[in-house]
Structure 1
Amino acid sequence: MSILVTGGAGYIGSHTCVELLNAGYDVVIADSFANSHPDTIKKVEAITNKTVTHYDVDLLDSSQLDPIFSKHKIDAVIHFAGLKAVGESVEKPLYYYETNLLSTINLCKTMEAHGVYKLVFSSSATVYGMPDQVPLKETAPLSALNPYGRTKIFIEDILRDLAASNDEWRISLLRYFNPIGAHKSGRIGEQPNGIPNNLMPYITQVAAGVREELAVFGADYPTEDGTCIRDYIHVVDLALGHLKAVEKLDSYTGAEAFNLGTGQGYSVLEVISAFEQASGVTIPKRIVERRAGDAPVSYADPSKAEKELQWKAERTLAEMCEDSWRWQSSRSHT
């Protein structure tokens, strides 16, 4: 079975490609390398001892997609490609709407033209906006606090409309919570361009001396230690969720949403403490003002994915921290 992975050289995409290859799937990667690095594909091949066909493709140009589907018998698509920085989306909303929506529309039109109707879409817990209650179920109201989150809601709506128009479509909408960690080999992990947007790569860069200190955004939230609480999930558990979603696409029709999280929330200070314990490095930190739009508490109810996909997150926060630090440490020696 051949799977096309758009954005397959990215953080979550590369880990998913490893799990797909280990499970015996053929993998074809389409990536523009706008937010990723071509050498990641070589590392995926080294980890799995398998060859990956890849194309340097911009999904905004649909003519670049057609030859891939003509050359390969694609059975299903996992769609990661897209822009993902919340702050940048506020500064450049049209760029985000154009890139994320049009790339998905072009992909789906090409899939339809080639009779490929199985799709796993990389959505996000940002679709829940500022949640009224936790844990978050898939039935919770959807609302976004920024253009990035809105692109995810709009794309989910487009895919639901598409599935309603033709019952051959089988679409899984995977709403991720907060992926951290890296592959045990230390060969692939989160490699942000510039200043990291996410907590863990910021922590690891401070630990490695790349940055002086960690900014903690707000310590006056209504939580036990005053910092935000999030559902952190190991990227390998997340990758395995995609594997299960691909396997289960035949078990339902239409478009189904699934939360991929652990169901456990950790505060920013708890994550810093767990990292210090895992690495033996003290993280200098400074409390700064809250960021606009940060929900105090957000964590998943992942029971639907456990019941319908037979998937459950297994890795602990300690493992997430250990693997993140191994990845950061290995980069200074390569």
Structure 2
Amino acid sequence: MKDNYDLITTSQAIFDVVKRGNQVEETRIQYEIKCIGNEIETSQIGKETVKYKFTITKIDLLTQNKKSHDIVRRYTHFLWLQNELQNKQIGRIIPSLPERQTVYDKDKRKLEFVFFMQKILSHKKLQSVDCSEKFFGEELKEYDAFQQYIENMKDQQNIINKFINAGLSIMSMFSKVYNYKNVQIIPRIPDEFDKQFDEYKKELEQNKLNTEIITSDLQKIVQKLQIQTRALSNSSEIFMNECQGSEEFNILQIIIKIYESYEIRLRQKYIYRMETSLKDYDEAIKLINLYKELKDQINQDTQLINNPNYRSQIDELKSEINNNKQKVEQLNINFIDDIKIFRQQQSWCLNDVQKNFQIDLQDCYQSIKQQKNVEHF
């Protein structure tokens, strides 16, 4: 067996992403989040509701004072928070959530929830929005209290025509379809902001590609551990009758467990985290596309106002133009502000991978070496 697999071959790709991140901002307050269990509740019609319990610890890095409390949440609660932040913070890169699925890995999902919450709480502006304060606060920490709060909010938001239904994306807020009949729309001329957003998109797409390469390399290493585990397990089963109880067989069982535990650990600590980072890149790129679509819509609506076929819709068009201009302005300001934080978060993630993945992998082989060096093995 090799002492170690090859070092991560994507160190340059990691560097290319990290170098684009701004200097890390010093923080005094840090949050630690742990999932401490889940409860499955089955309704009378057989529908399962999975409730996750998390411990949130607020740490003052200056005084080292810690304060903790628990919250109980379900998937729809996280989706509600994401939608609320998208509605109230247009243009900010809201962290991704796992897709809604009937069958899924509950252990993976709880880690994805932890990643989501950590990103929200490491973002000063997102953590201070009222919906975030309600989600993370002690006042509504119990499941029933928070569920009731969401129900009350739904009733209020339906009145003002805001979308919080599961599955709706931020694009739904701005979708508009016109029958242009035979109207010829002159394409708008890109401005300086368009060029700037094109540069952001190019950067994000390149960083996403590099992150995909890094993730693929990490997955290959973890898969090798998994293959090794299966091979040793198969050998163990073949020789179980002849060797069971012997010292060599017992050490083999220990080595198999070491492989299994590290395969799970590396997957949970790094692979799942990198996968959520890739989804975050998609969310950021969607915002850039939305920015351009809104400006194109303003251009189209402006030309329709002067068209005789749309005289009956002038008030509606003017209102839509005004609303979209406000959204473009907010998206422009928030995205440019948020891209700095987004770069930092991605840099933190990759720096952690670069620093700790190899250490954990070496620990795995060191543990196996110690077992192989046991006398008589």
Fold equivalence (TM over 0.5): no
Q: Which has the larger radius of gyration?
A: 2
Question: Where on the TM-score scale, by shorter chain, does this alignment land: which range?
Answer: under 0.3
Greater share of residues in strand:
1
TM-score by length of 1: 0.27
